[in-house]
Chains A and B, each alone.
Chain A
Amino acid sequence: MPSKVKRAAPMDSAPWSIKVAAGAALLFLHIPLWLIFLYSFTTEQSAYSFPPPGFTLKWIPQALANPEMQTSLLLTLRVAALATLLALILGTLAAAAVYRYDFFGKEAISFMLVLPLALPGIVTGISMRSAMSLMDIPFSFWTIVIGHATFCVVTVYNNVLARFRRSSGSIVEASMDLGANGFQTFWHVVMPDLATALLAGGILAFSLSFDEVIVTTFTSGQQQTLPIWLYSQMLKPRNRPITNVTAMLVVLATVLPILLAQRLIGRSTGETTDQS
């Protein structure tokens, strides 16, 4: 028996070549993000010299006070909030229906919900644009929201459905047996159970919407969400220090909530990561 245990030992340490390659891949993934932080503090105004000639904190208040940045940030937050709300409602309804009932076309539902994320963003974008052109719908706040809500639904749906499948149905029956009606059961038993799944799904939907450029380009017309404003700054750099700082703030604003969402979901479920 002991000799058998020894036999399996070699796989615990990796060959150095794999360690180096894995480490290099990780650095490749992360160094660019560190540079975003570094450049937010450079004293330089109109170039990206490395190493930066000096460091300063002065751009941060300037970026926060920049009116264009503020307007686009406000628009992004309003869009993301509404899209998340819609996604929460639609995603939860769809998850409840798929979990509770058997019906014709049930398999197709999941497929349809994931389609807007699975197809290249440009397909959803040009589709929405075609529909707007066909029906003479002008660009508006709502066209952005509708586009975003459509691809956000699946994050809520996945999280809520996973939660339904994990929680036991007997607590619902117990609640009914103890005399609660359907609404009471929903409010006092089902909802508290779903709360963290809704929060996690909502956070993912929010950051998905907060960050989206491709679909938005087709549905926003002249309006600029924050990612589109950043993109326009990259095409024609007008104010590099402020762009740098905004980029850093956007990283923080998207990464921190995601860390929170990951904690809420528990690391074991991989399903929340397969977005595009």
Chain B
Amino acid sequence: MNRLSTYLYRRPRLLLAALLVPPLVWFVVIYLGALGAMLINSFYALDSFTGQVVRTFTLKTYAKLLDPINVQIFARTTIMALCVTAACILIAFPLAYYIARFASPRLKTFLYLAVTLPLWSSYVVRVYSWKLILAQEGIVSWFTRLVHLDGLLQLYLGLPVVGGPSLAVSMTGIFIVFVYIWLPYMVLPIQSALERVPKSLIEASGDLGANPGQTFRNVILPLALPGVVAGSIFTFSLTLGDFIVPSLFGSSSFFIGKAVLTYQGTSGNIPLAAAFTMGPIIIMIAYLLIARKLGAFNAL
């Protein structure tokens, strides 16, 4: 034992290898290997006649992505992700601002937990709670009847695109649930960006004659921007890849995640599912590049 210990001590490279090889092999073989497998699969195609995957190089599957239906799916998902991100920013900012600037240390600890707990409590259950809320006989209908706005709700549901047979089956429903699920991911980075705004800077702005509104617009907001962008990376990326929410609250219109799931599952078309997934990956890479330009990575 002693000799082995000394032997390893004298050869740090060997010890390093012993430490590094298992996780490295796992990630390179299993994870990067799987990503590679997806890439390879996206260049295969499904023989529409036999329903079997033909393992020869082709761009046919990628060409399918340009079908109007699929372009529509990409557009619908991206627009939804943008709307969800915008709503998350609007809702998260005041909360993050309050936690960072006004809460006492004790309250801050409490609020921090109050934001992280929903983040960590079960994702499926949080989605499920909205099944209860948006149900026709649920709390939203009860409330709108209580304040006599049920007519207005019906009118809203009658609108094209955002409406639907009920809130539980509509774009608005999907949108609300997405905003709810990803909101904590937006609060935390904004809060941490705001925490880093030096108090002296705000005082200086006031001393130089800016009113609170001007200080907010010209000092705080620009400094909080990296946090906002960092949060938007989460909300955007998570919305792009999700299939649970659209399947539970959507009508028949597909989102990227749901399309991928359906293609690989019922139709066994793994190549098309793989090629489809390259969509969010490319959209995300573009988004990340823009975010890096805006300095978001310093706020993560």
Cα–Cα distance between A217 and B38 once the two chains are bound (Å)? 16
| Nearest chain B CB to A64 CB, angstrom units | 17
B66 on the interface (CB 8 Å rule)?
no
Cα–Cα distance between A97 and B20 once the two chains are bound (Å)? 6
Residues of B within 8 A of A (CB-CB), count:
102
Interface size class of A (residues with CB under 8 A): 35 or more
- CB within 8 A of A8: which of B128, B129, B203? B203
A182 on the interface (CB 8 Å rule)?
yes
Interface string of A180-200 (1 = CB under 8 A from B): 011110000000000000000
Cα–Cα distance between A128 and B270 once the two chains are bound (Å)? 11
Among B4-36, those with CB < 8 Å from A are 4-6, 8-9, 12, 16, 19-20, 22-24, 26-27, 30-35
Q: What chain B residues lie within 8 Å of A181 (beta carbons)?
A: 1-2, 5-6
| Nearest chain A CB to B184 CB, angstrom units | 7
B122 on the interface (CB 8 Å rule)?
yes
| Nearest chain A CB to B58 CB, angstrom units | 16
Among B232-257, those with CB < 8 Å from A are 234, 237-238, 240-244, 247-248, 256-257
On whether the beta carbons of B129 and A36 are closer than 8 Å, the reply is yes
On whether the beta carbons of B5 and A97 are closer than 8 Å, the reply is no
Among A126-182, those with CB < 8 Å from B are 126-131, 133-135, 146, 149-150, 153, 181-182
Q: What chain B residues lie within 8 Å of A250 (beta carbons)?
A: 122, 124-125
On whether the beta carbons of B274 and A93 are closer than 8 Å, the reply is no
| Nearest chain B CB to A254 CB, angstrom units | 5
Q: Which 9 A-B pairs have the closest CB atoms?
A: A120-B241, A21-B94, A32-B129, A181-B5, A131-B37, A127-B34, A22-B98, A182-B5, A97-B19
Known contacts A124-B31, A130-B37, A211-B122; 5 additional CB pairs below 8 A are A26-B115, A33-B118, A89-B22, A234-B127, A273-B116
Interface residues of B (CB under 8 A from A): 1-2, 4-6, 8-9, 12, 16, 19-20, 22-24, 26-27, 30-35, 37-38, 40-41, 53, 91-92, 94-95, 97-99, 101-102, 109, 111-133, 135, 137-139, 141-142, 180, 183-185, 187-188, 192, 199, 202-203, 206-207, 212, 234, 237-238, 240-244, 247-248, 256-257, 260-261, 264, 270, 273-274, 277, 280-281, 284, 300
